[in-house]
Amino acid sequence: MGLGWRCSYIQDKKVSVLLRFAFLEICVSVLFFVSTLLLGRLLSIRSEMAPPIEIAATKTYVEKHAASLPPLNERILSSMTQRSVAAHPWHDLEIGPGAPVIFNCVVEIGKGSKVKYELDKTTGLIKVDRILYSSVVYPHNYGFIPRTLCEDNDPIDVLVIMQEPVIPGCFLRAKAIGLMPMIDQGEKDDKIIAVCADDPEYRHYNDISELPPHRMAEIRRFFEDYKKNENKEVAVDDFLPATAAYEAVQHSMDLYADYVMETLRR
């Protein structure tokens, strides 16, 4: 009788364990089924959702007025609709809280390069514009300041003095120390002269007058000569102090802000 009782007890335990496993399997199956239904519903809702009102409105505006918009206006609106695809270095990069004294700048051409790279305003990529015709190279890193605009519809140019060349397309912090007034083929094309704000050899410079005279002569000679073999006339005037550079950067920031506000009013 004792043996029979034990066998019965063991069988009951086995049945209990099997029932528990069966119950767990049923629970897992139900959870999986419910999760699948919920996921399918969420995907269905997402696919049915319209794009945000602002983006939809912007796309509609671009489609209706694309033929009449100036290039900069097209780029600003296009940047709004394609922000999730790519960032535009001119419009999407912040100029920085220290502007107009210290600001971010995008390098187009590295120090020592004979290749004239420049920003493609439509795509935001750095493209090869040409190889310099003269036997000269850029004396320092050269680029532009984001979210600025000059009278030629380009961002303001900047020459950044620092120890090393950097790759085209990167950005760095620069500090304005002077302004080089320049006329390129009859049009105003001033350059901001700056130093890298994070280069220990140059970051202590605050005004262009602190540079060695030879360095200033080298910069001036490059811009006077680099287009001569293209039969293009460039005139460089005397360098102006840091305060003139601050005013030029601030003016270009104001022009950019005015243009964006005018765009949004249309």
Active site residues: 138
For 52, which DSSP code? P
For 240, which DSSP code? B
- Mapped onto helix, strand or coil, the DSSP state of residue 103 is strand
Asked if residue 161 lies in contact with residue 195, where contact means CB atoms within 8 angstroms, the answer is yes
Alpha-carbon distances, residue 263 vs 65, 95, 128, 259 (angstroms):
12, 20, 30, 6
Asked if residue 248 lies in contact with residue 168, where contact means CB atoms within 8 angstroms, the answer is no
Tokens 């080089």 correspond to 180
Spatial distance between the Cα atoms of 185 and 232, rounded to a whole number of angstroms: 6
* 158's tokens: 């900047």
Spatial distance between the Cα atoms of 41 and 175, rounded to a whole number of angstroms: 54
The verdict on whether omega for the bond into residue 181 sits within 30 degrees of 0, i.e. cis, is no
Contacts with 133 (C-beta within 8 Å, 6 or more apart), sequence order: 227, 228, 229, 230
Q: Which H helix or E strand runs over 20? A: helix 2-48
Tokens 């004294």 correspond to 101
